[in-house]
A and B are shown apart, each in its own frame.
Chain A
Amino acid sequence: MSSVAFVTILSAFLASAVEFVEAVTIVLAVGVTRQWRSTLIGVAAAVVTLAILMAVFGSALILFVPIGVLRLVVGAFLVIYGLQWLTKAVLRAAGAKGKHDEAAIFAAEVAELTAGLTHEPPVATSGMDWISFTVAFKGVLLEGLEVAFIVVTFGASANLLGPAVLGAVLAGLLVVAIAVVVHRPLARVPENAMKFVVGVMLTGFGTFWSGEGVGIAWPGDDLAILLLLAGYLLLALLGVWIIRTLARRPSRPNVPAGAGIPPS
């Protein structure tokens, strides 16, 4: 297996795992508070919708869009998306932004759904509960769209759609298997560290492909990817160190971690 194929599987796996954890948190919250049958039907409907979207758009991208155009457009999107993940991960690692807390999100979802029960008729024990269906469908579809976006664009640009899909499927199976066993939100997943790594990978690969798209002949060809990844990783770590150091300076007012910047 080539190093690019391995990195493609790893990137798709990590990015997908993060989104799957968020989707599983929503599904667990709905299933526990309302009705499992309708929740699982909502999940299945979202998975089928995502599979159709991925098959149609993945094939269309590879078959009909010239590889140069694909790498420019997709590379640019990956840089934009990668920078968003990376800057948030840097802020979280430096303590300047509240960390993603799946246990808190689960509690908030449960509280919201439980509050809804007081205003609405009780959940039917048989038949469809459309609130369970809709919340599960929406949650899985939205989180899954992010996975699909990364997997399809990443796989299509590298001409490695198969390995990218494999990485996402493995992540999905692993997260769902753990959720079935522990039956509660996956609070111990190092989500921020994973987002940090994925942010570096998306930004690095995006820079390489979009650069090729505008006509840059990278010195060393694919080896330039490793240099870009190392460069972004070092700068991101430097960013964490600088923000932490500035926050500790005595001349600044003592602002609690995460104040002013809402977690997302």
Chain B
Amino acid sequence: MIRFVRTFLHFWSDFLIGDRLELFIGPIVALAGAAILVRAGLSGALVGAGLFATVALVGAISLALATR
């Protein structure tokens, strides 16, 4: 049973996180920031542009780390 749970968790962590933790955490942090800014009353265009820029930045950081 423990082996099954361990294999199950390993599969999903490999599936969603893989070998790049920043690609898992980055978008979640970006979305949390976007949610806070929307609640604060910022315009959709501004928050949307910020979300796009942050996701792109996460990708750029991951590429920089991979090619170090």
Contact = CB atoms under 8 A, between A and B. Distances in A.
Given A80-B23, A83-B27, A219-B44, A231 B34 contact: no
A58 interface: no
Given A83-B62, A87-B59, A211 B28 contact: no
A204 to B, nearest CB: 9
B9 interface: no
Contacts of B60: 235, 239
Interface residues of B, number: 30
B23 to A, nearest CB: 5
Contacts, number: 93
A246 interface: yes
Contact of A216 (B24, B26, B38): B38
User: What is the interface of chain A mostly: helix, strand, loop, or mixed?
Assistant: helix
Given A83-B55, A91-B63, A96-B66, A210 B31 contact: yes
The majority secondary structure among interface residues of chain B is helix
Contacts of B67: 91, 96, 243, 246
Contacts of A231: 52, 56
A84 interface: yes
A215 B35 contact: yes
B51 A211 contact: yes
Interface in B39-60: 39, 44-45, 47-48, 51-52, 55-56, 58-60
B35 A214 contact: yes
Interface stretch (A25-33, A42-50, A71-79, A180-188): A71-79
Given A83-B27, A235-B59, 4 more contacts: A84-B20, A97-B66, A203-B55, A211-B31
3 nearest A-B pairs in the assembled complex, by CB-CB distance:
A217-B44, A214-B35, A215-B38
Interface of B: 15-16, 18-20, 23-24, 26-28, 31, 34-35, 38-39, 44-45, 47-48, 51-52, 55-56, 58-60, 62-63, 66-67
17 contacts: A76-B31, A83-B23, A83-B58, A84-B23, A87-B23, A149-B15, A206-B27, A207-B51, A210-B51, A211-B31, A211-B34, A211-B51, A214-B38, A215-B39, A239-B60, A243-B63, A261-B66
Interface of A: 72, 76-77, 79-81, 83-84, 86-87, 90-91, 96-97, 145-146, 149, 203, 206-207, 210-211, 213-219, 224, 228, 231-232, 235-236, 239, 243, 246, 261, 264
